[in-house]
Structure 1
């Protein structure tokens, strides 16, 4: 009797916790679509008047010789009058350095400069900090080496700064090659929900883990903050937490025409390593406790939840079916068995929302999403959760063992080859 009661209480408690986490995550994802006014407010305003700011665009590149030239060319197409591009290359990466040097030599007016990172152990924040003293612009922007940037983005960002008085403007980033694999489909949808919706809620609440690129910070604010934490594997999240804790104003804008387009990791192992790095970085930011300087209790609770979300989300998808199976197979009261299925209800609602989101994603980007893609989305859900759980476990293991090396994600330009057919 006592054992049954204890098991019933355990299953009931787990079920309620899982239900709350799944429901909160779903509510979070739906933020931008709550009302037409909310959706409209997430977009860039059309630029009005002259351009007032100058930009230093940082482009860290390591073993990116296959995609770097295209990215530089796209940035040079910008219609903004005042910007410079600073490419950061490693002293031990001659192939990428050669591509960067050629681009600098042919760029008009010395608009492209190359800075060499001489750190023995390389990572992205070290590269960014190497370039920061060389920045001449009013605003520092960060892009990745494979980015496909819209020519009018800087004009819209300039207007966002001047119209709102923002210290930081976070633009949208979108993975495009959803057709490449079953996991690429889910990866693209994750980015869609994150930048299209969730970051806007973070900005409204005054706590935001910034994205790693298409992020713009006033140069004086960035230097005052000491740049990026070069020992953190999620330097973007860390910077966002520190700036939020200092009360800096962050504006998030997402417009399908203006997003920076990227590609998903090319292999499952590459995705696992990338997600491990992000998870470990979030764990590092949590342990640094800068979020404790946030002024309100609600912001601090949101910070706790956000920084732990990768771990909770990963295990939620694995535990939900196990919990339901335990309630079915074990002799527990009917009420407890009913409670155990509550998380499945939110899981089904999440699947429905993802299907609608995939359709919206295809519509916004002119991509034809077919029936097999929807089937892959549903069938791949459980396997993707296992991948996330594996990355979470691996992140904790690496952090406990003090392994802090940067596992690089390689790029081949899959987002530049349009195999999809426009709708």
Structure 2
């Protein structure tokens, strides 16, 4: 199954995109050479405007996220559900994943699951075959081919799927046992609902050498999945899906042509593709627990892949901006566009402030700083902190003063990932930077309670 033509990230940029990029580059270069002061003033105004817009966006989204969706009734008959998990080099955590999937509370006769492995991944295959499995869980072997990516494996498994609904899990995931019931009830109650995103919650790791990254990663996830995505869903806006725990109506997924095998963030792309085809997106509150990536040697490749995929998705969906409409284009700009630009701006902005402070400390003279820029920067930082604090509270995390003060250092690292992502996009656009996973014995114990209507036992 192939994604629709305009959604294929393997295509080169369109003539329109190349023309716009060349014009912007030439205009910027000429302005810097001919009118440097004016160019700086214009850039400063644009910088301030972007920060104000982003801050207002976060504030509006945060307020919208406070609205609770209306409960939905329990379906008369539960729809058929397919679970897909594409694994590669995950022998260490495969038994854990199978155990976590076995805890899912859904009628067994309406459930099927496929763990998809690569043909040459013998270690994971041996472990998967040896691990006891429920009868509704099968192992599939994806045939050799290119590109070797998660979405390609998922597309292969889609040909075997018979469910009315499908969800995706990663190797380290532990979904709440009643997550499928909550999603199924929403799909039955809302016929135009194409996809639901479950919140991803990160437990703080105790691994040496990654405490700082793990905590900041957890708060970043909390702000995204507990505040931003619920707020956008309440406002009826599309959003980039997370890489796991997407619940999708099968007719919508097949109509979209499945996943784009050449996009390394196929999830972000799919959310906007479903919207462009007329489907609505939503969220549920039944979580999936994950482990953080860990130390810098794991965090950086993962974040590089995300930003590279965001750039790919941006390129795909700006080829035909009319397909998304005004609301879809706004969401694309304020999610993927803002993520890319902010990642590029974090380190230079912090370096500018650090230089001014260093000059003041050494000479006693504070360099002239645009007061408006400092005020706008402070506004953006405060709103970002508030979003993290609200998300952390909803996710049950302890957001401390030390975490607040450490956040700018984490933001600066995003600029490193941005540079790496831009380079990788140029030289290896479709290569998948895999994140290794370790077996985790510290996931929270679950108390199965009714999270919403429509999730009681069958």
* Counterpart for residue 21 of structure 2: none
Q: Give the Å deviation of 1:359.
A: 5.4
Question: What is the rounded CA distance, in whole Å, between the counterparts of 1:374 and 1:414 in structure 2?
Answer: 28
Structure 1: distance between partners of 2:438 and 2:56 = 35
Q: Deviations over 1:236-281 (max 9, x none)?
A: 111112111111111222x2xx200001112212111111111111
Give the structure 1 partner of residue 120 of structure 2.
92
Match of 1:25 among 54, 72, 76: 54
What is the aligned counterpart of 2:348 among 305, 316, 319?
319
Distance 2:367 2:90 in 1: 59
Q: How does 1:209-228 map to 2 (within 5 A)?
A: 209-228=240-259
CA distance in 1, matches of 2:91, 2:41: 54
| TM-score between the two structures when normalised by the length of structure 2 | 0.78
The equivalent residue for 1:196 is 226
Alpha carbons of 1:114 and 1:387: their partners in 2 closer, same or farther (altered >3 Å)?
A: same
More displaced 10-residue stretch of structure 1: 270-279 or 91-100:
91-100
1:154 deviates by 0.9
Does the 8 Å contact 1:263/1:413 carry over to 2?
no
The one of 78, 86, 90 aligned to 1:52: 78
Larger relative contact order (Cα-Cα within 8 Å, sequence gap ≥ 6): 2
Deviation per residue, 1:168-219 (Å, 9 max, x gap): 1221111122555101111111111111121234433432211211111111
Match of 1:78 in 2: 104
TM-score normalized with structure 1 length: 0.84
Matches within 5 A, 1:167-182: 167-177=194-204, 180=207, 181-182=211-212
What are the ranges of 5 or more consecutive residues in structure 1 without an aligned counterpart?
none
Structure 2 equivalent of residue 251 of structure 1:
282
Note the alpha carbon deviations across 1:70-100, whole angstroms, 9 max, x for none.
2222222222112111000111112211222
The residue matched to 1:60 in structure 2 has which SS? Answer: strand
Partner residue of 2:431? 405
1:374 corresponding residue in structure 2:
401
The equivalent residue for 1:116 is: 141
Q: 1:350 to 1:206 in 2, by over 3 A?
A: closer
The 5 Å alignment of 1:136-151 reads 136-151=162-177
- Tell me if the contact between 2:264 and 2:305 (Cα under 8 Å) persists in the aligned partners: yes
Q: Which residue of 1 aligns with 2:20?
A: none
Per-residue deviation, 1:413:
3.5
Q: Could you list the runs of 5+ residues in structure 2 that have no partner in the other structure?
A: 1-31, 446-458
Residue 73 of structure 2 contacts residue 189 of structure 2 at CA under 8 Å; is this kept in 1? Answer: no
Q: How does 1:2-41 map to 2 (within 5 A)?
A: 9=38, 12-31=41-60, 33-34=62-63, 38-41=65-68
